[in-house]
Amino acid sequence: MNILCLGAAGFIGSHLTGRLLSEGHNVVAVDYYDDKIKEWIGHKQLTVIKQDIREETWGLSELVQESDLIIDLIAYANPGLYVKIPLEVFRLNFTENLKIAQICQKFNKRLIQFSTCEVYGKTPTSILNGHILDPDNPSYAKFGEDTTNFILGPVNKHRWIYACAKQLLERVLHAYGIEHEFNYTIIRPFNFIGPRIDYLLNETDGVPRVFSFFMDALLNGTQMKLVGGGHHRRCYTYIDDAIEAIYRIVMNPNGVCDREIFNVGSPENEISIRDLANTMRDIYSQEFRQDGIPLPEIVDVSPEEFYGKGYEDSDRRIPDITKAQTLLGWEPKWDTVNTVKTTMSYYVHEYRDLYEDQLWKHDIFQKALTSE
């Protein structure tokens, strides 16, 4: 197939680009940066276009017409930005993505649209203030694509503008499907992690996602900060599992993905953010830490202190993956510990210079103490 992949050089996009090329597809990869796909630049079946899609005219219509499938991964997917620049988050995640969908509909091209598990919002347990019997029952937090009601926070918690933008985009695609028989598939990722998930803290203007923030703290010896005590729970999905599911959606056997929404996640991998911090620190100590280097402190911080005003979070989210299992024959294979350990290994090796610098600074500090 000739595939146009928008946002191809992001975390998910870079892994997907590699898989598409390995399967023999022709890929036009559009992104603002290209460093995460540098290993494939020069591949005879890859065309890279460095482009900000927010520009008025840059040839999107022509690229869509020449493609068999369009995959749209373009998004701001960083909670720090939802609070800091909510209007721009809305513009990119809804307005700009809607333009892409409209062009796909105009030329009758299939679109795979990436959404987010954040559209589900919060669980009933979080808003009923202890009035639910057995509040820890996972059934309250298991989200189904076609049955679960969305529960979002109030307007002054503008962190939800990201979830609202993605939800509205989903609803418009659904409407296009009803009125114009537009063929789309929506993917709701549940906390994918793996190599290239984020730049670390010293390389980004925003606050990286939880895993990357903790990894940066481990490499630099800074604090591992738990927002709101780290009691929120997530189901982490290794990127290889995710890409396998996504590729099956790309291939769309017998049209089973037409106008469908798919959760892609690992329901067995649920862990609290506090437990994730402890797990990462334990793995780091056992697998990667040099003797004598202290482990970072784990501390609690308020949401406002960490993100600023307007932040709120979902308490728990477990994907119901019955649809992916039934229609695609897909099952996630990676457990939590191997998912975390493998991802950590990538960062330890990728940021070896940073790591070596940490060791050097610690050695100088120890020598200074000894000389006193």
- Per-residue pLDDT of 188-213, as tens digits, reads 999 999 999 876 655 445 566 899 99
Kind and range of the H or E element at 106?
helix 97-106
Residue 266 lies in a domain: yes
For residue 136, give the 3-state DSSP assignment: coil
Q: Is residue 226 part of a domain?
A: yes
Within 10 A of 207 (CB to CB), how many other CB atoms are there?
A: 21
Domain encompassing residue 228: 75-359
**For residue 202, what pLDDT is reported?**
52
The verdict on whether 162 is a catalytic residue reads: yes
- The dihedrals phi and psi of 176, each to the nearest 5 degrees, come to -60, -35
CATH number at residue 216: 3.40.50.720
Q: Each residue of 28-48: pLDDT tens digit?
A: 999 999 989 999 999 999 999
Tell me what pLDDT residue 354 has.
54
Q: Is 340 inside a domain boundary?
A: yes
User: Residue 12 domain-assigned?
Assistant: no
* Antiparallel, parallel or unpaired: β 233-235 and 270-272: antiparallel
In a domain, 35, yes or no: no
By percentage, how much of the chain surpasses pLDDT 90? 80
Is residue 297 in a domain? yes
Higher-confidence position of 361 and 210:
210
* Count of domains for the chain: 1
Per-residue confidence (pLDDT) for residue 364, from 0 to 100: 40
Euclidean distance between CA atoms 238 and 236, whole angstroms = 7
Q: Is residue 322 part of a domain?
A: yes
pLDDT at 220: 85
| From 76, 82, 162, 311, active-site residue | 162
Whether residue 25 lies inside any domain: the answer is no
